[in-house]
Structure 1
Amino acid sequence: MSVFNIITLLGGLAMFLYGMRLMGDSLKESSSGTLKVAMEKLTGGPVRAFFLGLAVTALIQSSTATIVITSGLVAAGILSLHQSLGVVVGANVGTTVTGQIIRLLDIDSSAAVWLQLFRPSTLAPVALVIGIVLIMFVNFRNSKNIGSIAMGFGILFSGLLNMSGAVDTLAESGAINTLLLGLGDSPVVGYLSGAAVAFVLQSSSATIGILQAFSMSGLLTFKGIYAVIVGVYLGDCVTTAIVCSIGAKAEARRVGVMNILYNLGKSLLVLVAVTVLHQAGLLDSLWDSTVHSGTIANTNTVFNLGCAVLLFPMLPVFEKLANRLVRPAPGAAGPYEDKLLALSPSFFSTPAIALNSCYDALHSMLTAAVENLESAYRQLGAFDEKSAAEITAREDAIDALADGVGNYLVQLSPHIKMENQVRILDQYYKDVVEFERLGDHAMNIAEIAEQMHG
């Protein structure tokens, strides 16, 4: 083992994580507006919600992002906690798609020619070339976004290749050999290792991908990896719950807590099932066998699908527990409270959705301002105390919306990277000022009307 091998391993890890981040962010930017609309129209039962959560997560490659979006919609009153249950379970299953893509590492040079086209050593450079061409030489609406997705895909696989190559060399070292083989000696160590890495990386997909890269050493066995995979579930869901709780109302925090409860149940179910099956001798052929990238991907998928089927009837129980654990703060809801709740910090990771929430709030603000102008003009002809009170109440709501949207735009600004979104952000700043000014004009007219009839 040399320092150069360690540098190669760490460099490959950095490329893998950055590639996954770039691809995921680009996928979210290109599809998040559509995803929000699809999730807002979710009216079916938990099964339909499950497939929606699965599809969304498979598309944007992030269960955390899917659950955070869901928590924001629940906080805004667009979805109920009950409707979010299936989405959470589907997101947990959808995250296994990344591992199934990474299993392409198992394709070797002896495979059929058409299969070799899907080898990472072939896909990575092709994706990088396509990506750079789209970014630098093509100019249509989504070319840069699609190019970034391709670049992220290529960088991800380039990093995996570097990692797997370094692991092959490092596996000859006694220390690394002992470390990898030691995972099978203590399931507790494996469980805690998986949870810790997933918590630090804030991604179950990335952690499973790293495990798949290390499997190229030929030293990992099923008894060494199953506990690591289960630990990943807990580490990732804790991160998700923290993100859901940042500046969020009770409704949003319940989604994060529900995800933790589900993953705790899933972890316990898998650990008990594996222990029972092993004691019964049903896993003897698999227990000490060497696992490769595909085995890890399949194990993760089977664990998640099996738990989804078995725990689905328990979802109402998780919902009741989440409601008991997270109590809402007392206080009366004001007008347009749903629009203000939709301005959730949890949407900062998906700016398109955050901007869409700003649009909804601005639309309500404009509607209220126009209503006030019309009412104020009517007051000039026939003054009415009740209408005057309604105008004042709407003006207070307009001011609250202006403060909420204005502050939200300031907080959102550092997260905006795309050029068209920067333009939208600048326009929204102007809209806040103009719509608030309309409301002020209405108040001035209403005051003149009161003086005329006073």
Structure 2
Amino acid sequence: MKHLLNLLAAIALLVWGSQMVRTGVLRVFGANLRNILARSMSNRFSAALSGLGVTALVQSSTATSLMTSAFVGQGLISLPSALAVMRGADVGTALMAVLFSADLSWLSPLFIFVGVVLFITRQDSKPGRIGRVLIGLGLMLLALRLVVEATEPLLQAEAVRTLLASVSSDLFMELLLGAVLAVLAYSSLAVVLLIAAMASSGAIPLEVALGLTLGANLGSGLVAALTTAKSAVEERQVTVGNLLFKIMGVAIVAPFIALWVQYVSPYIANAGQNVVMYHLAFNVFNSLCFIGLTQTVARWVTALLPRPAEESSTQLLRPRHLDPSALSTPSLAISCAVREALHQADVVESMLIGLQKVAETDDAKLSEEVRNLEATVDDLYSAIKYYMTKISRAELDEREGQRWTEIISFTINMEQIGDIIERVLLDLEDKKIKKGRQFSDAGMQEIHELTQHLLDNLRLAMSVFLNGNVREAQKLLEEKARFRDLELAYAASHLQRLSQHTVSSIETSSLHIDMISDLKRINSLLCSVAYPILEQAGALAPSRLKPVALEGRRRPGGQSPKPAPAARPVTQTRA
């Protein structure tokens, strides 16, 4: 029992080490790696090479698959190009398996020591994150040695020998077990290294190890497909297409395992090296054999997972930029959230334009359509908020932490603006459209000018939120004061029309006053975007109140204020 627990602990350590390396590399180089992928799509061969290089660093073809599928979902690259990237990604992870299978155990204590020192002393900086990667590499190398040591005593147990003998009699069982292990470990690299270590120690026959290796390759494709199961159709097409490539490759290669054992394995002395070289040969064969079929497989996948007809009309209304694969790189995830917040503001802008048209045309159907957009604004707010909670705050530096707060504040304001617009539209329907009433010409012109000012201020607020420009933030606050003056002037004009007994003004008086008041509230929410930028730049005064002298001022009741008590002179006393 003790030896079994040691083996399980070594396997867990191997999986955990690979996870630390993957997340650490993504946090340090994630943005650059994504740029490399996005910019190397001129042809399928350069795309495959970029996939190979990125995966060699990330040590996970699953992570590369998720990044690539997110690009396809956002319309940045085509599906055939994404499938070409995955052909290179599989070779990249196989190369890393070959590297780790070498005797590098002497590097384990060095990597762990240097990594811990960097991580503890510079935890929130780039060197600290590199230290995390070194810790993961050291743990992987240590775990591989522990796996070999833990399997040797287990081989003496009769039950273990019987179990291994039963597995070796069925190729399908080997493929299934290898796939299940890869899914559970969330890493085909870790599983292949485990299989190689067990084969090296004699725990499993070489032929069984090769069957398990093919199953691990199937499992890596299945992991990516399961991870994107609830994503957009475009993203699922990438992972399903990659899985199809793996299934076709395994179907071709699996019947010839015995030929590898008979003709190739005698030239490779160590069984563990035999496994990783077979893993590399399979992925090179699979990539070279199918690199020319990316267009064909893309058509198959498109037919298998067609884009719903109604999706095109609602595509702009669902979250588009909240990339789950970016969460492992907090700074990149912040950028994704910023883009989605601007998408939410675009929907709010559509609502404002619709509000202006409804006020002018009394179109009840348009009013209902615009009100329905409020649910979209709420959904986007919920999606952004949930996405932001999954970003590790501990991994953010001071500026990114401030940006995190700004995004939450901005999306809350947009959600509140959507609520206000919905309420204004309901008032227009109940108090104006259904009763057949009209604003006066002057009143309609005032509302038109206010909504036009709001649209301009919304666009300026979006620019301030995106760029953080101090001059634009100052201009936004100036627009707030100008809007307040307009609201007061238009309220006074409305009262003047009431005194002149203008019928249309009397009938819509309550609606008119409430509407310009609500528009002022919307403008205040928009202008609040400027405060964090100006405060950080030191451009805000501590108070809007002007210091005034109390002498000579009188209270409303006619009484003069009491003078402040005179300060007593300071006297010194002897001890």
> With structure 2 as the length reference, what TM-score do the two structures score?
0.65
* More divergent stretch after superposition (303-312 vs 197-206): 197-206
- CA-to-partner distance for each residue in 1:131-185, whole Å, 9 max, x for gaps? 1111222467312211111111112222222211111222233333454466544
- CA-to-partner distance for each residue in 1:22-77, whole Å, 9 max, x for gaps? 12111112222222333333441111111111111111111111111211221121
Match of 2:339 in 1: 360
Match of 2:98 in 1: 100
1:226 to 187, 210, 227: 210
- Percent of matched pairs sharing the same residue: 21
Q: Tell me by how many angstroms 1:395 deviates.
A: 9.8
**Match status 1:259 vs 2:239:** no
2:277 to 295, 298, 319: 298
For 1:126, give the aligned amino acid: L
For 1:270, give the aligned amino acid: V
Closer, same or farther: CA 359–402 of 1 in aligned 2, 3 Å:
farther
3-state SS, counterpart of residue 228 of structure 2: helix
**Contact 2:152–2:203 (Cα < 8 Å) also in 1:** no
2:70 to 64, 72, 84: 72
Q: Tell me by how many angstroms 1:309 deviates.
A: 0.6
**Contact 1:26–1:146 (Cα < 8 Å) also in 2:** yes
For 1:314, give the aligned amino acid: L
> Looking at both structures, which has the greater relative contact order when contacts are Cα pairs under 8 Å and sequence separation is at least 6?
1
**RMSD across aligned C-alpha pairs, in angstroms?**
3.8
Match of 2:6 in 1: 8
Partners of 1:101 and 1:417 lie apart in 2 by: 34
**Contact 1:22–1:149 (Cα < 8 Å) also in 2:** yes
- What does 1:168-317 align with in structure 2 at a 5 Å threshold? 168-180=152-164, 184-246=168-230, 248-274=231-257, 277=259, 283-284=262-263, 286=265, 291-317=270-296
Match of 2:439 in 1: none
Closer, same or farther: CA 315–98 of 1 in aligned 2, 3 Å:
same
Max radius of gyration: which structure? 2
3-state SS, counterpart of residue 429 of structure 1: helix
Q: Tell me by how many angstroms 1:341 deviates.
A: 2.4
Partners of 1:356 and 1:240 lie apart in 2 by: 23
> With structure 1 as the length reference, what TM-score do the two structures score?
0.80
For 1:409, give the aligned amino acid: K
For 1:76, give the aligned amino acid: Q
Partners of 1:289 and 1:223 lie apart in 2 by: 14
For 1:162, give the aligned amino acid: L
Q: Tell me by how many angstroms 1:442 deviates.
A: 9.9
For 2:248, give the aligned amino acid: G
Partners of 2:126 and 2:367 lie apart in 1 by: 44
1:148 to 104, 124, 132: 132
Closer, same or farther: CA 133–329 of 1 in aligned 2, 3 Å:
same
Q: Tell me by how many angstroms 1:261 deviates.
A: 0.7
3-state SS, counterpart of residue 418 of structure 1: helix
Partners of 1:289 and 1:59 lie apart in 2 by: 27
Partners of 1:6 and 1:336 lie apart in 2 by: 51
**Match status 1:137 vs 2:121:** yes
Partners of 2:59 and 2:381 lie apart in 1 by: 29
Q: Tell me by how many angstroms 1:415 deviates.
A: 4.8
Match of 1:110 in 2: none
Q: Tell me by how many angstroms 1:289 deviates.
A: 8.0
3-state SS, counterpart of residue 308 of structure 2: coil
3-state SS, counterpart of residue 283 of structure 1: helix
**Contact 1:51–1:90 (Cα < 8 Å) also in 2:** yes
Closer, same or farther: CA 422–18 of 1 in aligned 2, 3 Å:
farther
Closer, same or farther: CA 372–220 of 1 in aligned 2, 3 Å:
closer
Which structure 1 residue ranges, 5 or more long, are not aligned?
Answer: 108-118
Q: Tell me by how many angstroms 1:205 deviates.
A: 0.8
**Contact 2:112–2:135 (Cα < 8 Å) also in 1:** yes
**Match status 1:83 vs 2:81:** yes
For 1:328, give the aligned amino acid: R
- CA-to-partner distance for each residue in 1:266-302, whole Å, 9 max, x for gaps? 1012124446x46xxx934637987433222211111
